[in-house]
Structure 1
Amino acid sequence: MDPTYTSVIPPPHGTQPNFINPPDQLVAVYVTSALVLALPTIGVSARLFVRFFIVPGHRIEDYLNYFAFACFVPYVAVILHLSGMGLTRHLYDITLTQIPNLLYWTNIVYCIYSVPTAAAKLSVLFQLKSIFTTGTHNAVFRVKAVSIVINVVFYAGLFFSYVFQCWPREKIWLGETVAGTCTNAAQVNLSSGILNIISDVEALLIPTWAIWHLSMPVKRKLAALSVFGVSLIAIAIGIGGMYVRIVLLTDTDETWWLTKLALFATTEISIVIFVGCMPFFSRLYHHFRSPKPTTTTTASSRSGIVTFGSSGKTGKHRKGDKLTSTLAKYMGPRGATGMTTLGSEGGYDEEDEFELRKHVASTATAGVATPVAYSQMEDFESGGEAVVSTNQGGAQNNILKTSQIEQTYARRQEDDRRRGL
């Protein structure tokens, strides 16, 4: 029996092996690869533009997102190489002599898979933690902290389980010709799919729960949730990948189904990387849509000193103000939702932009009421701009003060007129 002309498994009844021009999924792989590379490229480009030109400075979630994309590109490249070698065919259209090379590169794909997937998931988790914990160790903080630890441990274990799938490693692609032991790769794939779905669902439920408990109109809640709604696509893709993983437990036509799994896996990683970049599209939109802040002084209003982000009750903050502020910092227009700090010309500061959760707005003078209408989410939705005031003449009664960072903001004259002041 010549292995060069012998199929790996018997073909279905009434079918003959085709080693010359068999049906395959090569076109689907090429099209999907182009799409899954284009999507995160756009997302990461938007993120880089914001980080370098609008809000300078990077956080751990940014570096993880870049790293995930950098690892994702060679991951897709290896899949394309593997597809060109014949992975996209039915197993009965593949000869015995082709199998060792296919198995070797399939294991390489498995090993690489854990790296961009883990980095992309961790990037989203750290980003949600930054947005929704607002500097406090609340329930969301604890859930995210536990999720981060679980993902690190699981994907590290997944990586080493693929590296040492067989011992010695040569047994992975040489099979029974080498003595040794192997783990069940299909079972490992199944557990990976389960965790992927759980983390994708979590990435949607946590922001949904947090935003829905904010004291704001439903329309604004839905607008904020739309930024995270792309996670629904990742969940659907994860479920599809889970189905393929289950089929692989029993179906002998492994190459055909492994190709489908590769399509699902690359799409899922691409979507997760893109989900992490979604808030930066909102930031870009507001940056190019909003007019540049000015530094003129507005006329004084009748009300006294007001506190940026506080409630109308003395010394108290409205429920969700910190979270609303942090959401606006991530996704609102131009710095602090269109506001620029005193003495700057539209400049942006890392602490001012992304650490508002550490600078909770408080009343500048005890016993002074603050209009509820002044909230960052209002500016986040409308793209409004505030004008910077100097501290001359009677301007002291017109400032908005963020106490911990000692920055002043001017009240807009048109806002006073709108409120009948």
Structure 2
Amino acid sequence: MDKIVPFSSLTPAKQEELLNEPAKQPPDGIQSNLTNPQNFNNGGFVLTSFCLAIATAFVFMRLYAKVFLIGRVRIEDYLLADISIFVGIAYCIYRLIINVGFRIHQWDVRLSSMSEHLYVMHLCINLYSAHLLVTKTAILLEWIHIFVPDGRRSSFFWACCCLIWANIIFYSVVIIVANLVCIPIQKIWDKTVDGECNSDANFLNILSASLNLAFDIFILVLPQPVIWKLHMPKTKKIGVSVVFAIGILATIASCFRVADSLQYRSGDLTYVASDLVIWSLVEMTCSFLVFCVPIIPRMWNGSCTRDPTVMRMWCNRSILRTHPLHHLLRRRINGAWSRCRDYWKINKILSFSRDGNYEENTDLGWPLDQFRGIICTREIISTVEDASSFNIETDGRSESCPWTEPV
């Protein structure tokens, strides 16, 4: 990049010639390939699409469980709008693959393409920091609601609060610093613009990756002591611990990101930056798993099969709220639904014959001997009255048809 320092003083023809040259001199024994360089475009496209599909699927599963099964949405659930940031990062990677190339050496890239590469990477840094700011805050808020349900100010509660504020401050500072590396800001991606850049930018990248790894380790370890103090069988503790230990995948990705940040000094920016994007993408996907996986088992514990029409009833209720008579309609619909549901529950167990004796309903596989107690009761009162007890005035009408005319 030292070539373009006196760029503004060059003639237009010289500028055009310089922009068509490789962005970096190749090592000894290697020749630049500017037409068809070796790349990882297909792999980057598949990996990005896979991570995007996994993250989106788990986000929608969590929303379904929270809205339709649990029926309670907290502030951390609204932070799932962060999926839009993840989509923005996927767009940046697709753009990088199409316009520059993915995992391509810098000596195989034209100098004119470096502006596009640096611009996309600048967007990725900002979106990546904003994503982790929001997602890690949501994870910690979720754990407060899970492990401190009574609102007791325990050590776990204060640890989560401290991490939340440290996380917000840290990533806010990262975003600010990333946009102040060069003045004016356009010089971050366009080196032909006159201005100044901070020479310690690489050190800031290493520091940011290291502190991010420390946050991941804290979040991974934090709930484990609480889980092992729960009053439950050891096997269940192991299962819960494994569910909350999914963050180890994000920690591994953070370790590789730190290693790639150390290699940034090599000067092969386009190649190393692609590796950084890969591990950042894996880490962001794992952050969605850490947030969504603990709530997913609610979809398979019988709550969703107990009432399969819950989504339809919720939609009907939302429509009825807009009607002027929605209160009356809602009461009548709920009453009818309750009666039909009770009738359905009884007839799942018994089927009554004409002579009044019930028989086992073998079609539905409900053995009658498994039920104890009274299933259904019905009271019938029959009264008999003697007609002689009434004072009937005979006026010639028929006794069997008193409404007829007198004879």
Q: TM-score, normalised by structure 2?
A: 0.68
- Does residue 7 of structure 1 match 2:22? yes
- 1:227 alignment partner, SS class: helix
Question: Could you say which residue in structure 1 is the equivalent of 2:297?
Answer: 282
Partners of 1:180 and 1:289 in 2: how far apart?
59
Change (3 A) 1:181 1:5: closer
Q: Report whether the alignment pairs 1:62 with 2:77.
A: yes
- The equivalent position to 1:71 in structure 2, one of 85, 89, 93, is 85
Partner of 2:191, secondary structure, is helix
Aligned match for 2:165, one of 125, 134, 149: 149
Alignment match, 1:23: 38
> Which residues of structure 1 form unaligned runs of 5+?
293-343, 346-421
Deviation at 1:164, TM superposition (A): 2.0
Give the deviation of 1:172 after TM superposition. Answer: 1.2
Pair 1:178 & 2:194 matched: yes
Structure 1 Cα separation of the partners of residues 302 and 78 of structure 2: 23
Give the Cα separation in 2 of the matches to 1:73 and 1:269.
11
> 1:201 and 2:217 equivalent?
yes
Say how many residue pairs are matched: 295
Distance, in Å, in 2 between the alignment partners of 1:236 and 1:90 is 25
Cα offset, 1:30, TM superposition: 0.6
The equivalent of 2:134 in structure 1 is 119
Question: How far apart in 2 are the matches of 1:196 and 1:67?
Answer: 22
Q: CA RMSD in A?
A: 2.4
**Is the CA contact (8 Å cut-off) linking 1:124 and 1:276 kept in structure 2?**
yes
Gaps of 5+ in 2: 1-13, 308-336, 339-407
Instruction: Find the aligned partners of 2:44 and 2:134 in 1 and give their Cα distance.
Output: 23
In the alignment, the residues of structure 2 paired with residue 29 and residue 176 of structure 1 have an alpha-carbon distance, to the nearest angstrom, of 29
- For residues 184-225 of structure 1, what are the alpha-carbon distances to aligned partners after superposition, in whole Å with 9 as ceiling and x for unaligned? 332222222223222222222122110112233211211211
- Listed as ranges, the matches of 1:252-331 within 5 Å are 252-287=267-302, 291=306
Bigger radius of gyration: 2
Amino acid aligned to 2:254 = G
Q: Indicate conservation of the 8 Å contact 2:117/2:270, yes or no.
A: no
The ranges of structure 1 where at least 4 consecutive aligned residues each deviate by more than 6 angstroms after the TM superposition are none
Query: 1:213 aligned to 218, 223, 229, which one?
Result: 229
How far apart are residue 9 of structure 1 and its match?
1.2
Question: Contact between 1:61 and 1:127, CA under 8 Å: does it hold in 2?
Answer: yes
Q: Is the CA contact 2:21–2:110 (under 8 Å) kept in the aligned structure 1?
A: yes
Q: Give the 5 Å matches for 1:259-408.
A: 259-287=274-302, 291=306
Q: Is the 8 A contact 1:51 1:58 kept in 2?
A: yes
Q: Which deviations, in whole Å up to 9, do the C-alpha atoms of 1:136-159 show, x marking residues without a partner?
A: 111111111100000000111111
Is the CA contact 2:182–2:195 (under 8 Å) kept in the aligned structure 1? no
Choose the corresponding residue for 2:256, options 203, 219, 240: 240
Aligned to 1:190: 206
- Which has more helix, going by share of residues? 2
Q: Secondary structure at the match of 2:100?
A: helix
Q: Tell me the distance in 2 between the aligned counterparts of 1:228 and 1:117.
A: 18
Give the alignment partner of residue 244 of structure 2, picking from 215, 228, 238. 228
Q: Deviations for 1:63-90, whole angstroms, at most 9, x for unmatched residues?
A: 12x1221211111111210222214221
Could you say which residue in structure 1 is the equivalent of 2:175? 159
Q: 2: distance between equivalents of 1:99 and 1:45?
A: 37
- Counterpart of 1:406 in structure 2 is none
Amino acid at match of 1:172: I
Cα distance in 2, alignment partners of residues 183 and 138 from structure 1: 44
Residues 140 and 243 of structure 1, relative CA distance in 2, 3 Å threshold: same
Give, in angstroms, the shift of residue 92 of structure 1. Answer: 0.2
Q: Contact 1:68–1:273 (CA<8 Å) still a contact in 2?
A: no
User: Which amino acid is the alignment partner of residue 20 of structure 1?
Assistant: T
Aligned mate of 2:55, from 16, 33, 40: 40
Task: Describe the shift of the 1:267–1:209 C-alpha distance in structure 2 as closer, same or farther (beyond 3 A).
Answer: same
Contact 1:241 1:261 in 2 (8 A): yes
Classify 1:287/1:187 alpha carbon distance in 2 versus 1 (closer, same or farther; 3 Å): farther
Write the distance in 2 (CA, Å) between the matches of 1:275 and 1:71. 17
Residues 100 and 116 of structure 2 are in contact (CA less than 8 Å); yes or no, is this contact kept in structure 1? Answer: no
> Residues 5, 271 of structure 1: CA spacing in aligned structure 2 closer, same or farther, 3 A cutoff?
same
Post-superposition Cα deviations, 1:234-287, rounded to whole Å, max 9, x if no partner, equal 111111111111111x21111101001001001101110121001221111113
- Deviation of the 1:93 alpha carbon: 0.6
Please tell me the residue identity of whatever aligns with 1:45.
Answer: F
Structure 1 letter corresponding to 2:84? A
Query: What residue number does 1:82 align with?
Result: 96
Using the TM superposition, give the Cα deviation of residue 4 of structure 1 relative to its aligned residue in structure 2, in angstroms: 4.1
Aligned partners of 2:305 and 2:188: how far apart in 1? Answer: 58
On the 8 A contact 1:11/1:92 being kept in 2, the answer is yes
